């Protein structure tokens, strides 16, 4: 076995298998976890809810305000701070159309000096806040009546400086298999990277929508850094550095998920860029934190979560070129291929089980799994570019569009890669080099399926 085969087999089979099994362990820890809250203080502190917005429909913001007016919290102890990065004309239009619910204090600000992106808006809202508690929400978020109070009680009982809420995805597009797939993936991710890792005594990072902070903790580490894209991971790294405890809870926040390729592509490439940005710019804070060595290693691995996707794409390119050099089957390892297939099978079984528990029918769950898997693979080239873009001094922040599917030229790039991988797989199979041929066939079909499925989205 040559060095090229060892490297590609490690990237294609070993690393993904270990990641899936690692996440599955945490999922089981989180999924079976039950939070018993035994505190119930009579007095609630002043709560400031910061909501960044740009280009959002006034009706969407109104919906959030109406939702917050129903939460179980003393309204005299709550303020909602809306921070707009819109034009002066649109900001005035929003103020005219939005009607604050009776009894709910709502303050709207427009940032004239737009430093940074969402992080800058959160920092601006923090400066305007008066609360002892800070909750960050997106305009499309919705909470249950007891969500905020449960998160606060969790904070009190477990001595947390910040508490993440449990993400439950929703979509207005009841026909989107992608949205349903992301909803299930969101449940799996929340139970593994938040609740499971918290239960394993590893360091949890805040989430951008639905994290309740002690104001004193933010004051100690400093507010959000407007130079950074990934607001939640960035401030999380500094909280970890200062020995602050970030907990996860079963308090629910509903978040709208992408329902089309363009929205999914924008969201995932931004998250990929943001995680590497935080890894490179906050590496020292994590390494020098008060966490133990296992917690530090896990935190770094968490920030590297998009790198295996990029490595697999690069390996697929190299394996495709290798097929035309007629030098054999680089992935020819039945044990590693079997390990990879078993790991995928475990994930698929878990996905279907969670989907069924969420009320999704079996056939629909299978189709949702296929679609989310294909879309995740097909945007690998752009994930790879985003990882490298994170190293640049200047980076762009694009808000995830929700709703109607938009047209995008990335599908032609996706198709081109799909055809390349397909031709390479056929070449391997013709030479009876079955493992590389079958793996590339599996990989190529994700790209081709995405191109075909996208055409249906925009009709």
pLDDT computed for residue 50 by the predictor: 98
Q: Which residue has the tokens 């604050």?
A: 100
Q: Give me the percent of the chain exceeding a pLDDT of 90.
A: 86
Place 403 in a pLDDT band, splitting at 50, 70 and 90: low
pLDDT band at residue 438 under the 50/70/90 scheme: very high
State pTM to two decimals.
0.91
Longest Cα pair distance anywhere in the chain, in angstroms? Answer: 75
Distance CA 380, CA 40 (A): 47
Q: Residue 223: its pLDDT value, please?
A: 96
- pLDDT band with cut points at 50, 70 and 90 for residue 360: very high
Please check the confidence at residue 459 and state whether its pLDDT lies above 60.
no
User: Does position 246 have pLDDT exceeding 80, yes or no?
Assistant: yes
**Calpha distance 265→365 (Å, rounded):** 22
The pLDDT of residue 43: 86
SS3 content of the chain, % helix, strand, coil (to 5): 60, 10, 30
- CA distance between the termini of the chain: 49
Tokens matching residue 148: 């905020």
Mean pLDDT of 397-426: 84
> pLDDT band for position 391 (50/70/90)?
confident
**Beta carbons of 303 and 276 less than 8 angstroms apart:** yes
398-426 average pLDDT score: 85
CA distance 149 to 131: 15
Q: What is the mean pLDDT of residues 325-343?
A: 93
pLDDT at position 401 over 90: no
Q: Per-residue pLDDT tens for 85-127?
A: 999 999 999 999 999 999 999 999 999 888 888 999 999 999 9
Assess whether pLDDT exceeds 80 at residue 262.
yes
- Structure token pair of residue 11: 């990237």
314 vs 403, residue with greater confidence: 314
- pLDDT above 60 for 195: yes
pLDDT band at 402 (very low <50, low <70, confident <90, very high): low
Instruction: Please say if the pLDDT value at position 400 is more than 70.
Output: no
The mean pLDDT value for 262-288 works out to: 95
Residues 71, 199: Cα–Cα separation, whole Å: 28
Angle at 328 between CA 323 and CA 332, to 5 degrees: 105
Residues 247-258 have pLDDT tens digits of 999 999 999 999
Supply the mean pLDDT for the chain.
93
| Residue 359 or residue 327, greater confidence | 359
pLDDT for residue 172: 87
The Cα 137–Cα 208 span in angstroms is 7
Angle between helix 362-378 and 334-357 (nearest 10): 130
Model confidence at 347, in pLDDT bands (50, 70, 90)?
very high
d(CA 166, CA 145): 14
| Residue % of the chain over a pLDDT of 70 | 97
Average pLDDT over every residue of 310-336: 94
Higher pLDDT, 81 or 407: 81
pLDDT of residue 47: 98
Q: Per-residue pLDDT tens for 277-303?
A: 999 999 999 999 989 999 999 999 999
pLDDT for 33-70, tens place per residue? 777 788 778 789 999 999 999 989 999 999 999 999 99
Q: How far apart are CA 42 and CA 430, in angstroms?
A: 74
Alpha carbons 151 and 154: distance in angstroms, whole number? 5
Q: 414-419: which pairs have CB atoms within 8 A and are 24 or more residues apart? A: 414/378, 414/379, 414/381, 414/447, 414/450, 414/451, 415/447, 415/448, 415/451, 417/378, 417/381, 417/447, 418/378, 418/444, 418/445, 418/446, 418/447, 418/448, 418/450, 418/451, 419/444, 419/448
pLDDT at site 408: 85
pLDDT of residue 40: 78
Taking 70 as the threshold, does the pLDDT of residue 371 lie above it? yes
Give the per-residue pLDDT at 231.
Answer: 93
Q: In which band, very low, low, confident or very high, does the pLDDT at 458 lie, cut at 50, 70 and 90?
A: low
């Amino acid at each position: 076995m040559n060095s090229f085969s060892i490297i590609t087999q490690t990237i294609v089979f070993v690393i993904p298998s270990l990641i899936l099994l690692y996440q599955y362990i945490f999922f089981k820890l989180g999924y079976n976890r039950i939070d018993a809250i035994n505190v119930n203080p009579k007095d609630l502190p002043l709560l400031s809810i910061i909501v960044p917005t740009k280009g959002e429909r006034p009706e969407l913001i109104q919906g959030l305000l109406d939702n917050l007016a129903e939460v179980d919290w003393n309204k005299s102890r709550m303020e909602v701070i809306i921070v707009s990065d819109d034009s002066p004309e649109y900001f005035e239009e929003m103020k005219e159309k939005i009607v604050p619910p009776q009894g709910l204090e709502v303050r709207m600000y427009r940032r004239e000096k737009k430093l940074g992106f969402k992080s800058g808006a959160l920092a601006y809202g923090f400066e305007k806040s008066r609360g002892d508690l800070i909750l960050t929400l997106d305009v499309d978020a919705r909470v249950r009546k007891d969500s905020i109070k449960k998160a606060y009680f969790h904070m009190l009982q477990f001595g947390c400086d910040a508490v993440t809420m449990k993400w439950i995805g929703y979509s207005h597009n009841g026909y989107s298999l992608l949205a349903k797939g992301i909803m299930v993936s969101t449940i799996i991710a929340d139970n593994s990277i938040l609740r499971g890792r918290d239960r394993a005594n590893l360091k949890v990072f805040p989430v951008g929508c639905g994290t309740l902070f002690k104001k004193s903790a933010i004051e100690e580490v400093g507010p959000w850094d407007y130079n950074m894209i990934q607001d939640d991971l960035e401030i999380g790294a500094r909280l970890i550095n200062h020995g602050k405890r970030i907990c996860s809870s079963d308090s629910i926040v509903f978040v709208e998920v992408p329902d089309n390729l363009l929205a999914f592509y924008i969201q995932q490439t931004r998250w990929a860029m943001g995680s590497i940005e935080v890894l490179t710019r906050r590496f020292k804070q994590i390494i020098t934190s008060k966490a133990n060595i296992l917690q530090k290693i896990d935190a770094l691995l968490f920030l590297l979560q998009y790198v295996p996707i990029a490595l697999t794409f690069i390996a697929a390119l190299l394996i495709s070129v290798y097929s035309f050099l007629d030098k054999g089957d680089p992935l020819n390892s039945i044990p590693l291929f079997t390990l990879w297939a078993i790991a995928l099978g475990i994930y698929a079984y878990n996905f279907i089980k969670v989907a069924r528990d969420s009320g999704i029918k079996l056939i629909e769950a299978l189709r949702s799994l296929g679609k989310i898997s294909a879309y995740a693979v097909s945007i690998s080239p752009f994930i790879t570019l985003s990882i490298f873009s994170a190293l640049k001094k200047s980076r762009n922040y694009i808000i995830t569009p929700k709703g109607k599917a938009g047209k995008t030229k990335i599908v032609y790039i996706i198709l081109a890669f799909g055809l390349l991988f397909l031709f390479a797989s056929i070449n391997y199979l013709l030479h009876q080099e079955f493992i590389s041929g079958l793996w590339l066939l599996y990989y190529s079909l994700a790209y081709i399926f995405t191109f075909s499925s996208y055409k249906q989205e925009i009709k």
